[in-house]
Structure 1
Amino acid sequence: MAKILPGSAASIVNYDLTRPSVSAIFTTGVEPEYLDSYVSYYVERNPWFDYWGNLPSGKVGVTERDYPSRTFSDTEFYCDWLSRQPHLQAGAGVRIDLDPRKTIFIAWNYEVASAFGYDAPAAAILEGTRTAFREAVQAAHILGERLEGRSRLGHLIEHIDGAAMLVTRDRCVREANVRATKAFAEGSVLTCAENRLGVRGCQPQKRLDDMIQRVLNGVIPEETETFIIGQHVISAVVTAAPNPHASEASLLVPPVPLALVVMKRLAGGAVALDDASLRAAYGLSAGECRLCGLLLNGYSIAEASTMLGVTEGTVRQRVKAIFQKTGTHRQGELIARLAGFTTTVGGLGSENPTPIWE
């Protein structure tokens, strides 16, 4: 395409318009450093998404006719990126939708000064080839889905200690071990409505969502949190699932990245602390140990103040003192540490730990 219209640049890009972000890109006529800066930063600031994002799938668009770049010449995208590449400031393109997170753009860019002579032939060529492009894109989609199917952990996931699940960015469950299936059936902590992983409680759900996003965005390789859900103390670990195709050539529609979520019930129901061990380990007072027991059992600061007969301010001061003595900084971190000092887990009077969804 780039050879047909001298001075033009052609590209095929797989966008996730919900973010927006680039999942895969193949282009000619763009310097690598500009391409890298677009993928890592400027894609989220591209005003052309206002136009291309609303263009029907399969329809050919022409920017100088429908949305000229000069209309957003005061934006960061134009001033810092597009203005330095005049051969990209006009163009024609076609959009092909695969699913909400996979939108393929075939773009053909050139200078604004060339638009008068280039717009018509570029649009005509795209009109004539869009069916072939659509068939090729759909074939790439099928290939990506088949490779994704080969990315499952299979028998290995059953040996993970806890409820283990492979999930997409949207929390769609692609694979779950027996413990996870039992946890879904139990429903006290985890749910799986319409094949989407859910956690009881708005705050735990949001925190788990954030963990999955950070891991799949590459911000951090592993996230660990402790949740208090009702009377349950839950540890959650999220890591990026192994990608056996990472070393293969880039694909237009790569397999969906998956996160491995492992959730383990540290305690459920009424939990008793081993006060003697806790005091010996951290030097806590009897009152601080009692407060720790209430927090471990899921009681709020307000509820603890009522049960202890002191003000909320006093409880908060005691919590700060406990943080300092135990070397923790957040309530979730404290709960995780206290879970190692439990003597009774499960129903009142039970001497055996509650199984981890077994």
Structure 2
Amino acid sequence: MLSSAIDDAIFDAGLHAEAMAELGPQLSAVLNTQGCWIQRVNPSYGEVMTAYGFDMGSEQLYTERFYAIDPWLGKGMTLSPGKAHSLDAHIPIKSFLNGEFYTDYMRQRADYVHCMGAHFFLEGQAYALSFQRAQSVGPFEEDAEAQLDSLLPSLRRAFLTNARLQQQADHIARLELAQESAPLTILADRGFGVVWLNRAPPRDAPVRMTESGGQQRIDAGHGLGAAIRSATQGGAGQSSLLRVGRWAIEVDPVRDPPSRRPLAMIRVRDTAAEAARRVRDAATHFGLTAAEERLCASLLGGLSLQDHADLAGTMISTTRSHLKSLMAKMGVTRQAEVVSALAAMRG
């Protein structure tokens, strides 16, 4: 009988991303394996949820190059779902050792030759779990399959909980983005098609859209096309930050909640307008004078005290006096703390 500690770990993994990351070594310890790989399975890419027993470069290399030729995953997904299977019974060891997946990936990364896996479907999403052993340890027998079978109901519940919490978080995030003060936010697919946006782009924003066949598409200018492609490259999407004048364009990889397909979240921020709102909020909150408000704007814009004094046409001693009064009202003692407090104001 398996200990309650692993059940507790699985339960926590359904609720917390940090616990999900730690689930691999805990499962491996229970099942006497050297490697553990859990992923969401999609038609052309895998989304690794947790991995253990592989070097740090394995995940990205796997998702980019070897996912499509993984014989363990390919064969395992054809077997009956909801049940553990030793893949040794379906893929001869000699055939595996001579294959491209082993010679170009597994041998160099972890040198595992035995695999036991299971998969199941939850609300249209496939999940695959695989556990690996070195040749010296030996294959997975029926007792190992029985152990994994006993854990599958708890794992199913954990993954379902994880998915539903993520759906709720996505829904809340979209509600927040619908607020007037939220930046222009666009979800786009790899082909630059607009999946969702919270409002039409401002006339002077650096993001342009075209429409063809009833589909809105984002213009790829200002490096946005490369940033979208980088964010939507399967399981290894990369974030980007573009700057165009006073505008900052943040591009981050996200997943479409229903299908888990990779999308790019594009946030277009008017940094000058955000800074002005922060200064106004600070003036209201701390009771600043007009001179102190102007000093806040300069500090938030990265100007030195001397730069501010020169632009304002005042003596540096006057500017220092304004800063001293400003720090007293904010309850801080350093200029850097003033800037941090301003940056923390809701823009």
TM-score normalised by L of structure 1: 0.47
TM-score normalised by L of structure 2: 0.48
Higher relative contact order (CA 8 A, sep 6+): 1
Greater share of helix: 2
